[in-house]
Amino acid sequence: MVTYLDEDAVRRLLHWHDLIPALEDALAKFSSGRVLHPVRNVLTIEERQRYLGIMPAVTDEIASVKVINYYPRNEGTGVPTHLGVIVLFRADTGEPLAVMDGRLVTEMRTAGVSAAVTRRLMPPESRVLAILGSGVQAQAHLEALQTIHQFDEVRVWSRMPDHAQHFASKHGATAMDAEAAVRAADVIVTATNAHEPVLKGAWLKRGAHVNSVGANRPTWRELDDDVMGNTVVVDSREATLQESGDVINSKATIAAEIGELFAGTKSIPQTETTVFKSVGLAVEDLAAAQIVYEAASRNNVQAASTSSRVVR
């Protein structure tokens, strides 16, 4: 019997205070060569509309595969743009352990990695957070970043002003245009479905830190060349050079993988203007899913609740 954990179960069992340090550890192992981790395989079903991704990873303890759909066409329909499942296996025998919903894991691990990087690179005594985008990742990043730091002011922009206003009302933020939101901000998040840059380097204050989690296709951009001329860190050099239009088309120099920062093999002063270009890795899904599985295993009541079932 293989345990199945749906999104409600994942939500109960996965928390930022466990996830963020687990992601740091997983990425340190990744950059140290201790994870078997091919670049994801993405099948284009319909350009700019429908994609299917396969994301495997193997550590000494556990193996995982995430099958993830990315459907930009779902935006505004009430159906999430990202849907998928994660399967966990014993690494030594290959026995299946669990299957779980992948949507919330993807949401939280993406924001959790940004929070871990931001804690290392944001300016000391950061006060202002600017978020470009108002969807699922915008909200997740706000939650994750507020876990690691208390910001005095949160600003938000969206290409759909009514969405920005709704986000601002819900989260105590201020909606404004993109340039106004970014000017003098200490930490900036770009979480959009943009195909052309929405953030300009001319707007950035010296020493600001940027987390960019959108535009993960080779021809898509969120950031202009001036942004990419700053100190750039990535989750994976190999994946970023294949998948990130921001890096590929700007010919940006990659200063470090974030796992190298977490492992202590490289360091970047907080005084530098920094950009984290995230493409998302299978090892991040594995780390988050392992937390969920182990928490469910410790608590048989939760694992067998109405929020999960057994697949035979």
Three-state secondary structure of 159-192? CCHHHHHHHHHHHCCEECCHHHHHCCCCEEEECC
Report the CATH number that the domain containing residue 73 is assigned in CATH.
3.30.1780.10
Residue 118 resides in a domain: no
Identify the pLDDT of residue 161.
Answer: 96
Determine the pLDDT at residue 307.
Answer: 39
Same domain, 129 and 257: yes
Name the domain count of the chain. Answer: 2
Domain-embedded: residue 116: no
- Based on the fold, state whether residues 16 and 77 are members of the same structural domain: yes
Asked whether residue 113 is domain-assigned, the answer is no
Give me the pLDDT at residue 75, please: 87
Give me 34's structure tokens: 């201790």
pLDDT in the model for residue 6 = 97
**Contact 111/137 with Cβ under 8 angstroms?**
yes
- Report the pLDDT value the prediction gives residue 300, as an integer from 0 to 100: 74
Same-domain status, 216 and 240: yes
pLDDT in tens, the chain (312 residues): 798 999 999 999 999 999 999 999 999 999 999 999 999 999 999 999 999 999 999 999 999 999 999 999 998 898 999 999 999 999 999 999 999 999 999 999 999 999 999 999 999 999 999 999 999 999 999 999 999 999 999 999 999 999 999 999 999 999 999 999 999 999 999 999 999 999 999 999 999 999 999 998 999 999 999 999 999 999 999 999 999 999 999 999 999 999 999 999 999 999 999 999 999 999 999 999 999 999 999 987 344 433 333 332
Q: d(Cα 102, Cα 115) in Å, to the nearest integer?
A: 20
Q: Say yes or no: 288 and 242 in one domain.
A: no
Q: Read off the pTM.
A: 0.93
Domain shared by 156 and 140, yes or no: yes
Predicted pLDDT at 76:
83
Same domain, yes or no, for 191 and 71? Answer: no
208, 130: one domain: yes
Tokens of 152: 């005095």
Rounded (5°) CA angle 114-151-277: 20
Residue 214 sits in the same domain as residue 234: yes
Q: Do 64 and 85 belong together in one domain?
A: yes
Domain extent, residue 31, equals 2-106+283-311
**Is the domain of 65 the same as that of 96?**
yes
Under 8 Å between Cβ of 311 and 5: no
